[in-house]
Amino acid sequence: MKAIDLITDNDLTLLLQKGDESSFTEIYNRYWDKLYFIAYKLLRDTSTAEEIVQEVFLTLWKKKESLLINSLSSYLAAMTRYAVYRQAAQLKHSRKQENSLGIINAEAILEIDVDHKILLEIIANMSNKLPEKCRLVFQYNKLQDQSLADVAEKLNISQKTAEGHLTKALRVIRANFDKPMSDLLLFIIAMLFFKK
């Protein structure tokens, strides 16, 4: 058997689903810093970002047997972002404040417990219906956390063109969501769009 640190993400995911603790440890070591960076970038709070990342890994371990993961890095990044959004909603709820985006209030977010996997699949499926360039810009930037400048360079287009594709992708995805779920999904997409 290969050394655990040489195993691909897909193979690690398969081992994880079988309850292999060493694969979980390798995933943890491989992705902890990346997930912490995502959480810290959104929260600007060290201890809360660390708690969020620990929560993500705890959830990953608890749900390991039922997970359907196409891309481990995208899946973990999405789990982290959604955990941050829930944390932000809980803080705002405790302060009795409305959500700053005005799309959906904090109480409604707390009442809707959206499973990470389902939400990621919905967004990924929606993006797969986009024209190729729009899809690639959206998926690289929003699902794989690559900067717009990096995406533009990778696709050999200008950053302005990449921004245009991203705007179009978000508009198409928003238009395709049905009520009542659309408010929550629009909130999450807005958080993705406005993230630094």
Cis peptide before 131 (omega within 30 of 0): no
Helix axes 46-62, 72-94, angle to 10 degrees: 120
Q: What is the mean pLDDT of residues 121-129?
A: 71
119 falls in which pLDDT band (50, 70, 90)? low
**pLDDT (tens digit, 9 = 90+) per residue, 151-189?**
899 889 998 998 898 888 878 777 765 544 545 555 555
- Please give the residue range of the domain that contains residue 140: 113-196
Average pLDDT, the chain: 76
Q: What is the mean pLDDT of residues 130-157?
A: 84
Instruction: Tell me: do 79 and 54 sit in the same domain.
Output: yes
107 domain residue, yes or no: no
Please report the pLDDT score of residue 41 as a whole number: 87
126 falls in which pLDDT band (50, 70, 90)? confident
Instruction: Tell me: do 12 and 93 sit in the same domain.
Output: yes
DSSP 161: H
Domain boundary among 97, 125, 155: 97
Residue type, 104: I
23 domain residue, yes or no: yes
| CB-CB contact of 69 with 75 (8 Å) | yes
CATH number at residue 117: 1.10.10.10
Please report the pLDDT score of residue 32 as a whole number: 93
Is the pTM for the entire model greater than 0.85? no
d(CA 170, CA 167): 5
Please report the pLDDT score of residue 57 as a whole number: 92
CATH number at residue 55: 1.10.1740.10
Q: What is the mean pLDDT of residues 142-152?
A: 81
**pLDDT (tens digit, 9 = 90+) per residue, 30-69?**
999 999 998 888 888 888 889 999 999 999 899 888 878 8
Q: What percent of the chain has pLDDT over 90?
A: 15
Residues 6+ apart with CB under 8 A from 162: 137, 141, 148, 151, 152, 155
